[in-house]
A and B are shown apart, each in its own frame.
Chain A
Amino acid sequence: MAMALIETSGLSKHFGQVKALERLDLAVEPGIIGLVGANGAGKSTLLKILLGLLTPTSGRASVLGMDSVRETRGIRQVVGYMPEHDCLPPDVGATEFVTHMARISGLPRTAARERTAEVLRHVGLYEERYRQIGGYSTGMKQRVKLAQALVHDPKVLLLDEPTNGLDPSGREEMLDLIKRTGTEFGITVVVASHLLGEIEQVCTYLLAIDAGHLLSAAPISHFTQRTPVLAVEVEEGADRLVAALAAKGVRARQDGSRVLVAIESDALYDMVRDSVADLALPLVRMQQERGRLEDLFRDASATASPGAAMVTGSPQ
């Protein structure tokens, strides 16, 4: 059993009437962890408590066994934080800024310089690191924010919406960087994001909180498991395919250009193949359906067993 890196028990935080967190119990193990939740679900509040910036109303939180209220200095030495908002000074270069942040973390001057060079190279900032940050693109600024979070060699990295404002290629690069940071440095990364697609892409574990409670906590693979449903997409003739399969006694249901079939045995694959071949239909895709993270946020009625529910209806 791996040690819980981040732990909370009965953690509550109230702002007047608003209950941002309500008796939250968590135990986070090493990995790349996606933190999702509705707006106002308490994600930012949780991050701020873990950083020791907010005091809980009740309950407790700890990082690597250190209490978030009493041992904030210890926590800050092992935690790197990349805030969501624009927080960089515009009139200094990245090297100067990150070195400064390293010095604040207590690194000696020489070590601070060396670490800065190292992390800036890791995040992919080269010639431009001496230029003033004010002139940087959004993607470059995000890299500086990540670099300053890494410079003191933390064991836990908290990233608040790291791809915010990035364009598709910038996003792709940042996601790749997060993945490499987690695996190469072997540190735990918590990524707060609204984009389930990117969480699916980089994270190994999902924490979903809703209205201050834990909604779900499980490995990503748990949510994206294959379901016993085969989706067959054809360019045309989905209705004819359904009819042909029904004639063979196969339960199938049309969903736009797709035909959903319950996989009851391996022979089913051959029946689908033969029906498509007989009708000479253009086969676009044939894949076992997978669960999606999104189903967590659909209506409760739709979340239960997405695959099975889909084909149990009577064949049309």
Chain B
Amino acid sequence: MQATPLTGPAAAPIEAGPLAIELRNVARWYGNVVAVNDVSFGLGPGVTGLLGPNGAGKTTLLHMLAGFLAPSAGEVLVLGRSPHRDPGVYRQIGLVPEREAVYAFLTGLEYVRFNARLQGLRDADGAALDAIRRVGLEDAMDRPIGTYSKGMRQRAKVAGALVHDPQVLLLDEPFNGMDPRQRIAMMDLLGQMAEAGRTILFSSHILEEVERVGTQILVMVAGRLAASGDFHAIRALMTDRPHMITIRSSDDRKLAAALMTNPAVFAVELTPDGCSVQTAQLGAFRRLIAGASRTAGVRITEVFSEDESLEKVFEYLVRR
């Protein structure tokens, strides 16, 4: 996987189906600054995490999808249409921007209702109340947004973005400023919407939370798409990085000796944590752990790997 940005993104297959979002060789530059560089991907229903270091082009990408920006090159399609200056598409897009651009003098309910009216909803009041309830803001909905905490403002923005029940929901760091309970609730909400067939793309720096919401990711690095798809599949494509599995047992040395005889294993190290195994064939190794330790007469009490998490996959993609 060392080669990704140079030779094109490593794309784990995205399930077939109608693509709600499609980018074809999209670039966007500001003067001499290239924010997004030759990016292509497609997304269907479900939740996808948009990851990347600061300045990687995530916000620019979301703004192109929301229709704020036209691409400098290539084609951006949302539900088959170019969103730039096409209010028809806006009816199917909900956007939660990163900036706290909300009117402090409006109450939460008023803000959401304005969004509902802007979207031309017939029952703006009903829809607004409904959206307020979905984000759990009923108690504060009649207070001006200026008096809200950060987490409350964030939820008001989310309510405003989903008031018209859009097919496509774009969220730029939606969990920012939310407290633990609100984060859990928001993750659940995104999960429910995904199950209802919506296409959700959200950017975040908190990888453990992204991992909780889903396994589909897009990783941007310096304007390029470094990887896309299921992060487990992306990890499996990194064939130059052996998988590390640690096993704690009743007799680590004996287990190490037994495992070393298997061709799927190419290195074993005894550490204070147990017996650390390196393998290039993860699937094969996983199938032999239990049998091999039984044959060796060793009791295994713990098996875990540290380098299969989203955090590690991200680190491998970004740090090269």
B2 an interface residue at 8 Å Cβ cutoff?
no
Residue contact A297 to B184, C-beta cutoff 8 Å: yes
Chain B 193-208 interface 0/1 with A at a Cβ cutoff of 8 Å (1 = within): 0000000000001111
Residues of A within 8 Å of B88, CB to CB, are none
| A281/B180 in contact, CB under 8 A | no
- Kindly state the separation between the CA atoms of A236 and B311 in the bound complex, as whole angstroms: 24
Q: How large is the interface on B (under 10, 10 to 19, 20 to 34, 35 or more residues)?
A: 35 or more
The chain A residue with its CB closest to the CB of B56 is A167
Complex contact A274–B290 (CB within 8 A): yes
Say which one of A31-39, A49-57, A95-103, A118-126 lies at the interface with B.
A31-39
What is the CA–CA distance of A269 and B55 in the complex, to the nearest angstrom? 48
Comparing A64-72, A109-117, A283-291, the segment that makes contact with chain B is A283-291
Check if A269 sits within 8 Å of B286, measured CB to CB.
no
| Stretch of B15-23, B75-83, B223-231, B291-299 lying at the A interface | B291-299
Residue of B nearest to A273 (CB): B290
Q: Which residues of B contact A168 (CB under 8 A)?
A: 51, 53, 205, 207, 311, 314-315, 318
Question: Does A137 sit at the interface, judged by CB under 8 A?
Answer: yes
Partner of A273 from the list B55, B184, B287, B293 (CB cut-off 8 Å) is B293
Q: Which of B29-37, B112-120, B127-135, B148-156 contacts A (4 or more CB under 8 A)?
A: B148-156
Contact A276 B299 (CB under 8 A): no
Please give the distance in Å from A247's CB to the nearest CB on chain B: 17
Of the residues A39, A41, A266, A298, contact of B184 by C-beta under 8 Å: A298
Asked if A3 is at the interface (CB within 8 A of a chain B CB), the reply is no
Chain A residues within an 8 Å CB radius of B287 = 280-283
Which of B55, B205, B304 has the most A CB atoms < 10 Å from its CB? B205
Contacts of A296 in B (CB 8 A): 180
Q: Which residues of B contact A139 (CB under 8 A)?
A: 54
Given contacts A39-B150, A276-B290, contact A269 B301 (CB under 8 A): yes
Q: Does B233 contact A (CB under 8 A)?
A: no
Identify which of residues 284-320 in chain B touch chain A, using a CB-to-CB cut-off of 8 Å. Answer: 286-287, 289-291, 293-294, 299-305, 311, 314-315, 318-319
Interface membership of chain A positions 252-284, coded 1 if the CB is closer than 8 angstroms to chain B and 0 otherwise: 000000000000001001100110110011111
Contact status of A36 and B180, CB under 8 A, knowing A168-B311, A168-B315, A285-B305 = yes
Given known contacts A166-B205, A169-B53, A170-B54, is B286 in contact with A294 (CB within 8 Å)? no
Binding site of A, secondary structure by majority: helix, strand, loop or mixed? mixed
Say which one of A144-152, A191-199, A307-315 lies at the interface with B: A191-199
Is the CB of A138 closer than 8 A to any CB of chain B? yes
| A76 interfacial by beta-carbon distance below 8 Å | no
Contacting residue for B294 out of A277, A294, A297, CB 8 A: A277
A39, A167, A286: the one within 8 Å of B177 (CB): A39
Alpha-carbon separation in the docked complex, A225 to B180 (Å)? 20
Residues in B whose Cβ lies below 8 Å from that of A137: 54-55
- Assess whether A235 is in contact with B311, with CB atoms less than 8 Å apart: no
- Distance (whole angstroms) from the CB of A249 to the closest CB of chain B: 19
Residue B182 at the chain A interface, CB threshold 8 Å: yes
Q: A297 touching B318 by the CB < 8 A rule? A: no
B99 at the interface (CB under 8 A from A): no
| A219 interfacial contact with B, CB 8 Å | no
Question: Of A167, A269, A282, which is within 8 A of B205 by CB?
Answer: A167
Q: Which 7 A-B pairs have the closest CB atoms?
A: A282-B286, A277-B290, A276-B290, A39-B151, A39-B149, A286-B303, A277-B291
24 contacts between A and B (CB under 8 A): A38-B179, A39-B149, A39-B177, A39-B178, A41-B179, A139-B54, A167-B52, A168-B315, A169-B315, A169-B318, A194-B178, A194-B180, A195-B206, A269-B301, A273-B290, A273-B294, A277-B291, A281-B287, A281-B290, A282-B287, A283-B290, A284-B286, A286-B303, A287-B304
A interface residue numbers (CB < 8 A to B): 36-41, 137-139, 164-171, 194-197, 235, 266, 269-270, 273-274, 276-277, 280-288, 293-294, 296-298
